[in-house]
């Protein structure tokens, strides 16, 4: 898939795409095309920027955004549309990531998007929440009676390209990846099909775990992540030793299937909604061979209470870099299993200080909901562990994680 700007030759394809989207009425199509025509009439105008995603000669989707008048570093996302022929292919996600990459280069502080509530808190809202946006405001009955205007925002912090990957890598470098590989292999041996020959890591990031899976024996390795920047770091680490896939893990099915799948570091919670987690579990089951196991390292539900580890701080010193990291659940804004979380990373190197802040909404089910979600996806709950070892049950007093071992039916 190629992403490029708008030109006059693309205008007919853009008009056809807009007219094919059933949720757009004639007035909305007219307004969207007026913005495109304004950009084409004056290519130097700064107000409306376009990125178009192409699959061969077919227009898969587009995004239109621009600076918000009378603000410092705030941008509006005006239009985001995907061709019906390319639904559930990650087109919208790729376009949003491409927009955000441009905005970071431009020093943007914030991007804002407005959407209707006419489908309830449904597909559009779920997409933006999963992409890291937060509901910032709601105007009741704005479009019509019962149809609210919902404003989502995402804040950026100043950083150089590539810094976020390096900060992520350093923040979790304290983990014993070899020991965690051994734990995952032990889960496969005890609850699944033995020592796995094919392994898939979901939300693999820079592939620190996968790297260790290739050290103790020959295995077929697959890593799936939604960030091209993370996958670039993974490619530098692994070369051609792994198949690395840019995809939405709620939609991608790995073929051939694996004996072992896993998702570490509480990454599953960033899916932000129960239906997204359900979709991921379905994709994970279809990516396993019969009898294979899926291991989910999840946050302990107790951490959503004042008595739990709702705030965590740690420090790393490595090769002249000092790093301070912290996570914070905003319990005051918790809405059942949904809770805002902030990951803050401050790095110091050669006297230069950089801050990396990511604000998210996590969805943290309790054990009963996890079990229900697994059953609905056709997975058996083989074990619920409280640590990264097979000997600590979830009910143990020292339990600090919820590690679910789910098994595909034979």
For residue 384, give the nearest of 371, 365, 398 by alpha carbon: 371
Lowest mean pLDDT among 10-19, 119-128, 317-326, 382-391: 119-128
Question: Is cis: bond before 162, omega within 30 of 0?
Answer: no
Rg, C-alpha atoms of the chain: 22
Specify which residues 222 forms β-bridges with: 200, 243
pTM of the model: 0.65
Which structure tokens are listed for 226?
């939604």
Reduced to 3 states (helix: H, G, I; strand: E, B; else coil), residue 387 is coil
Domains and their CATH numbers in the chain: 2-155 (3.40.630.30), 163-302+363-407 (3.40.50.150)
Separation of alpha carbons 135 and 189, rounded Å: 43
Weakest mean pLDDT among 51-60, 69-78, 109-118: 109-118
Cα–Cα dist 191/170, whole Å: 32
List the structure tokens of 243.
Answer: 């198949």
- In the chain, pLDDT over 90 holds for what percent of residues? 61
**CA separation for the pair 188, 198 (Å, rounded):** 11
Q: Tell me how far apart the alpha carbons of residues 19 and 27 are, in angstroms, rounded to a whole number.
A: 11
Tens digits of residue pLDDT in 191-241: 999 999 999 999 999 999 999 998 888 999 999 998 888 898 899 899 889
Mean pLDDT of the chain: 89
Q: β-strand 288-299 against 258-263: which pairing, if any?
A: parallel
Secondary structure class of 336 (helix, strand, coil) = coil
pLDDT, residue 105, reads 65
If you average pLDDT over each of 17-26, 114-123, 357-366, 397-406, which comes out highest? 397-406
């Amino acid at each position: 898939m190629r992403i490029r700007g708008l030109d006059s030759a693309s205008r007919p394809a853009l008009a056809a795409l807009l007219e094919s989207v059933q949720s757009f009425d004639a007035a909305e199509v007219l307004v969207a095309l007026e913005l495109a025509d304004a950009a084409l009439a004056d290519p130097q105008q700064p107000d409306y920027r376009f990125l178009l995603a192409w699959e061969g000669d077919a227009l898969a989707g587009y995004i239109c955004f621009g600076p918000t008048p009378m603000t410092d570093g705030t941008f509006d996302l005006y239009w985001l549309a995907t061709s019906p022929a390319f639904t559930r292919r990650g087109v919208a996600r790729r376009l949003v990531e491409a927009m955000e990459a441009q905005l970071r280069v431009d020093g943007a502080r914030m991007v804002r998007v407005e959407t209707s509530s006419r489908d309830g808190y449904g597909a559009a809202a779920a997409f933006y929440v999963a992409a890291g946006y937060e509901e910032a405001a709601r105007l009741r009955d704005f479009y019509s009676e019962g149809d609210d205007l919902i404003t989502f925002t995402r804040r950026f912090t100043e950083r150089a390209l590539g810094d976020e990957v390096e900060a992520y890598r350093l923040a979790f470098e304290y983990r014993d990846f070899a020991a965690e590989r051994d734990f995952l292999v032990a889960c496969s041996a005890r609850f699944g099909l033995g020592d796995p020959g094919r392994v898939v890591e979901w939300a693999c990031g820079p592939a620190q775990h996968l790297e260790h899976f290739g050290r103790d024996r020959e295995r077929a390795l697959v890593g799936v992540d939604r960030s091209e920047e993370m996958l670039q770091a993974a490619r530098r680490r692994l070369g051609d030793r792994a198949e690395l896939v840019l995809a939405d893990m709620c939609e991608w099915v790995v073929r051939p299937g694996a004996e072992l799948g896993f998702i570490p570091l509480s990454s599953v919670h960033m899916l932000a909604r129960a239906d997204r987690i359900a979709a991921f579990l379905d994709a994970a089951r279809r990516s396993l061979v019969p009898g294979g196991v899926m291991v989910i390292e999840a946050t302990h539900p107790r951490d959503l209470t004042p008595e739990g580890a709702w705030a965590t701080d740690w420090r790393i010193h490595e090769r002249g870099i000092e790093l301070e990291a912290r996570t914070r659940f905003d319990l005051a804004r918790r809405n059942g299993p949904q809770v805002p979380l902030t990951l803050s990373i401050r790095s110091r190197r050669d006297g230069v200080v950089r801050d990396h802040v990511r604000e998210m909404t996590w969805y943290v089910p309790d054990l009963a909901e996890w079990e229900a979600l697994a059953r609905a996806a056709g997975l058996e709950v083989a074990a619920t562990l409280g640590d990264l070892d097979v000997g600590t049950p979830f009910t143990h007093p020292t339990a600090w994680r919820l590690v679910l071992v789910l098994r595909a039916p034979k």
